[in-house]
């Protein structure tokens, strides 16, 4: 599990290979990932946007950018957490994802970026 803290916002990321939904012979590797966002700052914040950079050892770099996460724009008061799960497909069994969230402070409307730690996407048999 990777973790990163930016401006009091802790991001934890963990991935898992989804063998039942993958076909390595056809070059389809599906990975699920779980993200936990914890507000350790003294201010309420809202997640506005996500920006992921996906690197696959057999494909061009992809970028995914858009509003919120899994259809939500979570608001986190100090001490609150938000978790979600999603998935990413690769053509190879070896890749990684990282990126940023655009957050906004509720009172001042100041926007800032929060680092998403690297999510390693590794087909279990490729690690041997």
The CATH class of the 2-122 domain is mainly beta
Share of the chain above pLDDT 70, in %: 98
DSSP 8-44: TEEEEEEEEE-GGG-BGGGTBEEEEEEEEEEE-SSS-
| Confidence at 127, pLDDT banded by 50, 70, 90 | low
pLDDT in tens, 1-37: 899 999 999 999 999 999 999 999 999 999 999 999 9
Q: Within 10 A of 117 (CB to CB), how many other CB atoms are there?
A: 19
**pLDDT mean over 108-113:** 98
State the pTM of this model.
0.93
pLDDT band for 125, please (50, 70, 90 cuts). Answer: confident
Q: Torsion angle of alpha carbons 68, 117, 77, 84, nearest 10°?
A: 50
């Amino acid at each position: 599990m990777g973790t990163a803290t930016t401006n009091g916002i802790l991001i934890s990321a963990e991935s898992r290979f989804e063998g039942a939904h993958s076909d390595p012979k056809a070059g389809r590797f599906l990975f699920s990932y779980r993200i936990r966002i914890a507000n350790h700052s003294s201010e309420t914040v809202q997640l506005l946007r996500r920006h992921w950079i996906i690197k696959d050892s057999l494909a061009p770099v992809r970028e995914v950018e858009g509003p919120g996460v899994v259809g939500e724009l979570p608001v986190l008061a100090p001490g609150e957490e938000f978790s979600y799960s999603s998935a990413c497909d690769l053509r190879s069994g070896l890749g990684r994802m990282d990126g940023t969230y655009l957050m906004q402070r509720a009172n001042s409307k100041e926007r800032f970026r929060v680092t998403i730690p690297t999510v390693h996407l590794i087909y279990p048999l490729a690690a041997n």
